[in-house]
Structure 1
Amino acid sequence: MPVAPDAAAARPTRRPRRFRTSVALAAVLAVLTTVGLSGCADFSKQDGERNAGPFSKNNESFEITRPPKTPPPPPPNLPSPPPGPCVDPDPNVITTCLASTSAVTPGDDQGNVTVVAERTTGKIIQAKRFSEHKVLWTIPGIDASGDGGLIDFAPSPTYRQDHLMYAFITTATDNRIVRIAQGDVAKPILTGIPKGPTGNLGSMYFRSPTELVVATGDAGNPAAANNPASLAGKILLVTGFTSGVNPAPKVLASGLGSNPALCPSDDAIFVADGTDSADRLSQVSGKSLRTVWSWPDKPGLGGCAVVQDTIAVSTIRTQRIETLIAPTPKKPSVDKPTVVLEKRYGAIGRMRPVGNGLVQFGTVNKQYGPKVVSQDDRVVRFLVPAGGGGEDSKM
């Protein structure tokens, strides 16, 4: 994520329809978590057919974190903390003792409930503070070697009617998007995304009810990211969702590196990823990526989220959240990022906005952290400082 763009290139990508992703997703997930489904997918058949608690420090060096404002208090009348090693006293930790997380999304509009994917187990779990993990879906048959597995998930925009779940997964042969109906095998929607020993991670979200935006990693092969014949290292627009033959996805941008994380705003698509030379935050502009900011020291970007006019970026190696004021056509360049959270929860992965300045993020200490504590991995609720905050902010 870097600098020095030109004003014309900075113009946000025009989106054909404004689909309030966070609002729509929250409404869908409210139904999903209320229904409390449990699903599975059998990939051998498919291809043949065509606990609660919060915070123990991961690192004694802790700097900065809390915005001048404080987040809403935890919900009242919580049950007493259960005994055991999974209890974390930090009130902003929503749930603990997860396998290494991948996607995370709020399960309510206050951010007190989370729906989180475990990359290595294929489980999609609903939880809130001091509650047991409720497994909503289990997707067997995934290949979790390297950094593969359950990469991301998105409930159908019409989940109230169809109860369909979409998942971005790694199998024995490729990375792919599948559609899952309750009690049925998974149906492939998009297959043939290259799989590698690393570089399998990616992300996706519904931009509109008929458009799924997918970011794919380079599968450990940077050359594939710029190869028009490969689906690796691309931002793709998927518009076909049947179990039969679907139209080829449209390529919105090429040249992504490893671990791309999408963070859309109302009028632009931003993406965080890592390349051989630097980690970077980019904006989709035309059919290319315009670098917004880059980190030559490669802190290991884990995720990003747009919160009002601020972009929050999480890091794995340096265990931070950093913020930048989002670029605009009038001010396409950005100032140096501000560190607003450091070394409190360990390695931070994916993030998702809740609203009112809040985000949820998952830790990835079991995959990347130099230190794993008994509460890992966790999902945390965090208030992003307005205007970037800074080192004078107090926890």
Structure 2
Amino acid sequence: MRYTRWAGSVLAVVLTASAAGCGSSGDETGSGPAAGPVATSTASSSPTAAPDLDAGEELARGIDVPWGLAFLPGGDALIAERDTGRILRLNPGSGAPQQVAEVPGVASAGEGGLLGLAVSPDFATDDLVYAYLTAADDNRIVRFRLGGGEPEVVFAGIAKATYHNGGRIAFGPDGMLYVGTGDAGNTASSQDPASPAGKILRLTPDGDPAPGNPTAGSPVYSLGHRNVQGLAWDAEGRLFATEFGQNDVDEVNLIEPGRNYGWPEVEGEGDTAGGRYTNPLVTWPVREASPSGIAITAGTAYIAALRGERLWVVPLDGDRLGEPSAHLVDRYGRLRSVQVAPDGALWVTTSNTDGRGDLRDGDDRILRFPAR
């Protein structure tokens, strides 16, 4: 394996007291370099009422490229700023977010920086928060105690580049840590089982390959991905992921262990003769999507679109998805992360300060849509 788990190594981190209470060649614009030869976690939460998308409220503004979004058990949100390396804590009823951590060593450039966040399923007892970040030489995952202390690198060696860094992390219903990575511009890596790039990984909380993975001793859960930035589970425990296409279509996939989702041989639907590749459930033209975060609640998937500047709402229908409908079109600009809060509200972050959006007064902002 070419991945590296740096057990026991640490980075310095600056922690403060908790507050009370892709350019012309980047896929986040929907295009990319020509193919060579190539909540808590984002898991669905228990509330079953759908969010009211006509009753949005702004919780915070002036955030610098918000990327990761995760909830603490009490309902406060943690927000990662991509370029500054700061982690903010926001209580929905207490005003402005407060900085609770700053992760050093974040090498923010292009689509890289401080990306996904995940809160330990055992946070009440271990106080651990996980973060995916772009460092000087690679993308990696660290964990640290929110109350203070040095972060530990639990998984490293994920290829980095200006574009296609992936970055979403989430604990699944099985307690394992799932990781969406990108191909880092090397399309061949997506089909290379020895590379963690262009994959969905499944790890133990300590960063080891999870037991029961398709190949024993490998962190790879699925392969053939271009750039995964959204992971979410439905009430039945099925994993869905969003994926940026290159020039034609973006995708939502039902992820099953060991499956190959085709990149770079297939973009969107393609020849699946012999079962080699798995087709997506839903596709969009890249100008309408560039899908980043995904959340599932009340039998419906909510997908944040960057270039499309909208929220896609897609009903679940067993192993398939129903007809998508577009909401919030052009209202807030680029949308990055979407999560279901413990109270059932849908939170959405904008991404207009990332160098690709048209700035609106107050960007970037954190939005909340209450459950009906």
TM bracket, shorter-chain basis: 0.7 to 0.9
Which of 308, 316, 320 lines up with 2:310 in the alignment?
Answer: 320
Offset from partner CA, 1:333-378 (integer Å, 9 cap, x none): x443111221111100011112675310111000155321231111
Partner of 2:348: 361
Q: How many residues align?
A: 299
1:164, 1:180 within 8 Å by CA — same for their partners in 2?
A: yes
Moved more, 285-294 or 271-280: 285-294
Which of 216, 220, 223 lines up with 2:185 in the alignment?
Answer: 220
Q: Is the partner of 2:96 in helix, strand or coil?
A: coil
Which of 299, 302, 306 lines up with 1:309 in the alignment?
Answer: 299
Whole-Å separation in 2 of the counterparts to 1:108 and 1:344: 31
Whole-Å separation in 2 of the counterparts to 1:249 and 1:105: 27
Q: Is the partner of 1:377 in helix, strand or coil?
A: coil
1:306, 1:353 within 8 Å by CA — same for their partners in 2?
A: yes
2:251, 2:284 within 8 Å by CA — same for their partners in 1?
A: yes
Partner of 1:153: 117
Which of 142, 163, 180 lines up with 1:198 in the alignment?
Answer: 163
Deviation at residue 96 of structure 1 after TM alignment: 0.7
Partner of 2:325: 338
Partner of 2:127: 163
Partner of 2:233: 264
Alignment CA distance shift 1:124-1:250 (3 Å): same
1:166, 1:178 within 8 Å by CA — same for their partners in 2?
A: yes
After TM superposition, list the pairs within 5 Å mapping 1:52-131 onto structure 2. 71=52, 92-106=57-71, 113-127=76-90, 128=92, 131=95
> Quick check: 1:349 aligned with 2:368?
no
Normalised to the residue count of structure 1, the TM-score between the two structures is: 0.68
Offset from partner CA, 1:208-263 (integer Å, 9 cap, x none): 574111111111222211111110011111015179xx995532211121252112
2:155, 2:207 within 8 Å by CA — same for their partners in 1?
A: no
Deviation at residue 134 of structure 1 after TM alignment: 1.1
> Quick check: 1:144 aligned with 2:131?
no
Query: Identity across aligned pairs (percent)?
Result: 26
Partner of 2:141: 177
Q: Is the partner of 1:157 in helix, strand or coil?
A: coil
Structure 1 counterpart of 2:61, one-letter code: T
Structure 1 counterpart of 2:197, one-letter code: A
Whole-Å separation in 1 of the counterparts to 2:352 and 2:341: 23
Structure 1 counterpart of 2:282, one-letter code: W
Whole-Å separation in 1 of the counterparts to 2:181 and 2:254: 15
Deviation at residue 131 of structure 1 after TM alignment: 1.8
Q: Is the partner of 1:168 in helix, strand or coil?
A: strand
Whole-Å separation in 2 of the counterparts to 1:384 and 1:300: 26
Alignment CA distance shift 1:200-1:192 (3 Å): same
Q: Is the partner of 1:342 in helix, strand or coil?
A: coil
Partner of 2:249: 278
Alignment CA distance shift 1:368-1:282 (3 Å): farther
Whole-Å separation in 2 of the counterparts to 1:356 and 1:341: 22
Alignment CA distance shift 1:175-1:254 (3 Å): same
1:300, 1:315 within 8 Å by CA — same for their partners in 2?
A: yes
Deviation at residue 316 of structure 1 after TM alignment: 0.9
Whole-Å separation in 2 of the counterparts to 1:359 and 1:328: 22
Structure 2 counterpart of 1:282, one-letter code: N
Whole-Å separation in 2 of the counterparts to 1:191 and 1:148: 15
Offset from partner CA, 1:251-276 (integer Å, 9 cap, x none): 22111212521122232000001122
Partner of 1:255: 224
Unmatched tracts of structure 2, length 5 or more? 1-9, 14-49, 262-278
2:115, 2:131 within 8 Å by CA — same for their partners in 1?
A: yes
Whole-Å separation in 1 of the counterparts to 2:127 and 2:344: 30
Structure 2 counterpart of 1:281, one-letter code: V
| RMSD between superposed Cα atoms in Å | 3.0
Whole-Å separation in 2 of the counterparts to 1:213 and 1:242: 10
2:62, 2:364 within 8 Å by CA — same for their partners in 1?
A: yes
Whole-Å separation in 2 of the counterparts to 1:370 and 1:255: 29
Whole-Å separation in 1 of the counterparts to 2:80 and 2:103: 10
Offset from partner CA, 1:89-146 (integer Å, 9 cap, x none): x96111110000111134577x7x5321111111111123672321122111111111
Partner of 2:39: none
Q: Which has the higher contact order (CA 8 A, sep 6+)?
A: 1
Structure 2 counterpart of 1:236, one-letter code: L
